[in-house]
A and B are shown apart, each in its own frame.
Chain A
Amino acid sequence: MPERTDDSKMTATPLTRVLGILGIAASVVMAVLGLFISPPDVVQGEAVRMLYLHVPSIWIAYGSFVLTSISSLLFLARSKRREDSGRHYDRLAGSAAEVGVVFTGLTLITGMLWGKVTWGTYWQWDARLTTTVLLFVTYLGYLALRRLPADPVVRGRRAAVMALISFINVPIVHYSVDWWRTLHQKASLSVGRRPEITGEMYWTLLYSALTVTIVGAWLIIHRYRVIRLEEIRDEENLKMLISSRHQEKPTDSTAAGEVS
């Protein structure tokens, strides 16, 4: 007896549904905290509210690129040993990179808007901004490389190498404000350094980072499953093509026989 299932179960599980609902609820609270509860800055005024989007976005982007690099390394190390060629790691690398690119794009957009208010210009070719846009473009290139037609394992290896090369730029972006004289301010929060902000602004920033992490994790899990579905679809299409070619063969020989 055929069994009908719910469409919403395609890429979701109870865990991801809980994560999704938590992400939505946390985002609403984040908006209230960031837009209404947290006070305006003495110097920057209301514009400081961009902090709660801009900073967590780049943190999640960094985290996603770290995940991409670790997965790429594991894929390269295990692709010859594992039964499924380690494609699990390749999928994880691809999904994390895509989410990382989305959040890097958001970092650039929010940064440009914030810059217009505080610096008087949307864009300046200083070290932080230039290296960030380079990061965005290199990971876009990585995603483009993943779409090139090739054997999945070969393509996965090429993408993994590209991911590891692209990752070199992540610490350069982060430390660019310390290494070079830039228009961009130094990190608001940094390990081993006293925070530049305190009180409600500090806690709102931490809360925003947590919220964006939940949303990012939800996106990576779902994107991972969609990549798996794409692979199943491609495998099914390939099987159908091969079977249709097998069915064509007798017809060809029959036709040839009729001619002779």
Chain B
Amino acid sequence: MSEVATVAIGWGLTFVVIVTYSLWVVSRGRTIGRKIGIGEVHQSGQLQESDLPTDT
């Protein structure tokens, strides 16, 4: 395998892994958020975004 091909595979794989993991984290947050009522119709007494902790 040539140096250029190795570099291309290395950089490509790294970006694929990071983007896939980021999308998984965001989509998991959205899926669970919908299940527990955050991001959908908010009734009084239901969980709001403000119930979540702010910045770490």
Contacts and interface: CB of A to CB of B under 8 A. Distances in A.
Contacts of B41: 2-4
B53 A225 contact: yes
A53 to B, nearest CB: 5
Contacts of A146: none
A198 to B, nearest CB: 21
A117 B6 contact: yes
Contacts of A46: 3-4, 7
A226 B36 contact: no
B33 A10 contact: yes
A53 B39 contact: no
Interface residues of B, number: 39
Contacts, number: 127
Interface string B16-54: 011001100110111011111011111100010101111
A76 B14 CA distance: 35
A16 B11 CA distance: 25
Interface string A31-56: 10011000000000111011001000
Contact of A102 (B13, B21, B47, B52): B21
B21 A219 contact: yes
B29 to A, nearest CB: 4
> What bracket does the count of chain A residues touching chain B fall in?
35 or more
Contacts of A49: 7, 10-11
B38 A229 contact: yes
B39 A219 contact: no
A110 interface: yes
Contacts of A222: 22, 25-26, 29
Nearest to B1: A116
A113 interface: yes
B51 A232 contact: yes
Contact of B28 (A8, A27, A226): A226
A181 interface: no
Given A4-B40, A219-B25, A47 B7 contact: yes
Pick the most buried of B7, B28, B35, B47: most chain A CB atoms within 10 A of its CB: B7
A248 to B, nearest CB: 23
Given A9-B39, A10-B33, A229-B32, A35 B7 contact: yes
Given A219-B22, A232-B51, 20 more contacts: A5-B38, A5-B39, A7-B34, A10-B30, A10-B33, A11-B29, A11-B30, A11-B33, A16-B55, A35-B11, A45-B3, A47-B6, A57-B14, A102-B18, A106-B18, A109-B14, A114-B10, A116-B6, A224-B53, A225-B52
7 contacts: A3-B42, A8-B30, A10-B29, A109-B13, A109-B17, A116-B1, A218-B22
